[in-house]
């Protein structure tokens, strides 16, 4: 059999062998990249010292645990959140282009953040609220605009790309009009960065993302069912209206949680679900491989961002943009060829 049956008391599941192996490989890759990232300082530290430091022993304990670990944790959790959010929207739109960053949700969350900074100052809760409100408003706007001419995945994507462009322009305008100190703070963030991430700033986003991950796990069966098409999903007992609402909420919330903490990190949500499903050999675009791939991707991108122009640290968003831009072009070509 190519699948394993798991049954214990009220719990039962069928686990595809290929997906299980792929998940283990991805987790190992994440662990390896995380160790490398923990070793990465002004120079590379020996892994043995770093592991000692991680356990609170040796000279490097403070550096590893207070400086590098938050950043590595952020890269893993944010990458996973972006990948999972991408899989939610690619499932909903049934289109590989339908990811939050392409349809403007990152930009919308960032607009919310900018408004929160300029109007209310930059408290963590204010930023998170701004990001979530901005993301939800954008999602509502994109859906409303796409619905007017009938729902189809590609139409929603095209409308989303247009909304994304308008929001990006709006964001630049807000930054130009803002006071100098606000503008400087905002631009430092515009590309999405993990530079200077600390535990204190991570607490709130981690709680939000953790809660939404639970919601997403609860929705994953419905997501599999929805992938069969609206008619089959509804006829087999999926309440489509409620499912879609919760899925959009989870997807927007995950994106907004990341944006509030690190700014808009684009393209992870676009690329990770597609790579993940190929690695897992899965049907449709399942969220777990997408999340694991997203974590590995963002860790790798952040390592590159710290290394290529060292000692200058690039924002990780710049690296994901370069990596993802090429992929987006490829997808657009394919989409156009398909008609």
Partner 1 sequence: MKGRLTARDATLRYGDRVVSADLDLDVPDGAFTAIVGANACGKSTLLRSFARLLAPSSGHIAFDGRDVRDYRPKTIAREMAFLPQGLVAPENMVVRQLVARGRYPHQTLLSTWSADDERAVTAAMTAAGVTDLAERRMENLSGGQRQRVWIAMVLAQETPYLLLDEPTTFLDITHQYQLLALLARLRDDGRTIIAVLHDVNQACRFADHIVAMRDGRVVAAGAPADIVDAALIKEVFDLSCVITPDPVTGTPMIVPTGEYAG
Binding residues vs partner 1 (CB under 8 A): 2, 5-7, 10-14, 218, 221, 224-225, 227-229, 231-232, 234-239, 277, 281-284
For the CB of residue 5, give the shortest distance to partner 1 in the complex, in Å. Answer: 6
For the CB of residue 235, give the shortest distance to partner 1 in the complex, in Å. Answer: 4
Cβ nearer to partner 1, comparing 218 with 329: 218
**Per-residue tokens: 179:** 């006071």
Calculated CA dihedral for residues 221, 222, 224, 230, nearest 10 degrees: 160
DSSP string, 81-122: HHHHHHHHHHHHHTSTT--TTTTTHHHHHHHHHHHHHHHH--
For the CB of residue 140, give the shortest distance to partner 1 in the complex, in Å. Answer: 23
Q: Strand, coil or helix: what is 11?
A: strand
What DSSP character marks residue 195? T
Let me know the angle formed at the C-alpha of 22 by 38 and 272, rounded to the nearest 5 degrees.
65
Cβ nearer to partner 1, comparing 40 with 277: 277
Distance CA 224, CA 66 (A): 40
The length of the chain, given as a count of residues: 339
Cβ nearer to partner 1, comparing 150 with 311: 150
Q: How far is CA 76 from the centre of its chain?
A: 10
Cβ nearer to partner 1, comparing 91 with 168: 91
For the CB of residue 279, give the shortest distance to partner 1 in the complex, in Å. Answer: 12
Cβ nearer to partner 1, comparing 264 with 286: 286
H or E stretch covering 61? helix 61-62
Cβ nearer to partner 1, comparing 162 with 227: 227
Range 8-31 burial, b when 16+ CB lie within 10 A, else e: eeeeeeeebeebeebbeebeebbe
For the CB of residue 225, give the shortest distance to partner 1 in the complex, in Å. Answer: 5
For the CB of residue 228, give the shortest distance to partner 1 in the complex, in Å. Answer: 6
């Amino acid at each position: 059999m190519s699948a394993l049956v798991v049954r214990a008391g009220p719990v039962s599941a069928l686990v595809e062998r290929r997906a299980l192996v792929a998940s283990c490989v991805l987790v190992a890759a994440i662990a390896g990249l995380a160790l490398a990232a923990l070793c990465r300082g002004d120079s590379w530290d020996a892994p043995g010292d770093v592991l000692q430091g991680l356990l609170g022993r040796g000279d490097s304990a403070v550096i590893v645990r207070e400086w590098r670990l938050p950043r590595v944790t952020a890269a893993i959790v944010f990458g996973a959140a972006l990948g999972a959010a991408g899989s939610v929207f690619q499932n909903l739109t049934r289109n590989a282009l339908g990811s939050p960053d392409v349809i403007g949700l990152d930009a919308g969350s960032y607009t919310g953040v900018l408004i929160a900074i300029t109007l209310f100052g930059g408290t963590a809760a204010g930023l998170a609220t701004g990001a979530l409100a901005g993301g939800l408003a954008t999602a509502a706007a994109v859906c409303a605009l796409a619905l007017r001419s009938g729902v189809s995945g590609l139409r929603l994507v095209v409308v989303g790309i247009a909304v994304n462009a308008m929001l990006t322009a709006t964001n630049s305008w807000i930054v130009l009009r803002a006071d100098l100190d606000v503008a400087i703070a905002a631009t430092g963030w515009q590309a999405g960065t993990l530079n200077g991430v600390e535990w204190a700033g991570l607490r709130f986003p981690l709680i939000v993302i953790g809660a939404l991950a639970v919601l997403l796990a609860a929705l994953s069966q419905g997501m599999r069912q929805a992938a069969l098409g609206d008619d089959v999903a509804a006829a087999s007992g999926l309440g489509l209206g409620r499912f879609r609402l919760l899925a959009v909420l989870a997807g927007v919330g995950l994106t907004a949680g990341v944006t509030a903490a690190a700014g808009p990190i684009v393209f992870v949500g676009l690329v990770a679900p597609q790579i993940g499903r190929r690695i897992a050999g899965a049907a449709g675009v399942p969220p777990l491989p997408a999340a694991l791939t997203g974590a590995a991707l963002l860790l790798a991108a952040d390592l590159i961002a710290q290394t290529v122009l060292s000692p200058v640290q690039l924002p990780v968003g710049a690296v994901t943009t370069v990596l993802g831009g090429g992929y987006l072009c490829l997808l657009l070509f394919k989409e156009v060829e398909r008609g």
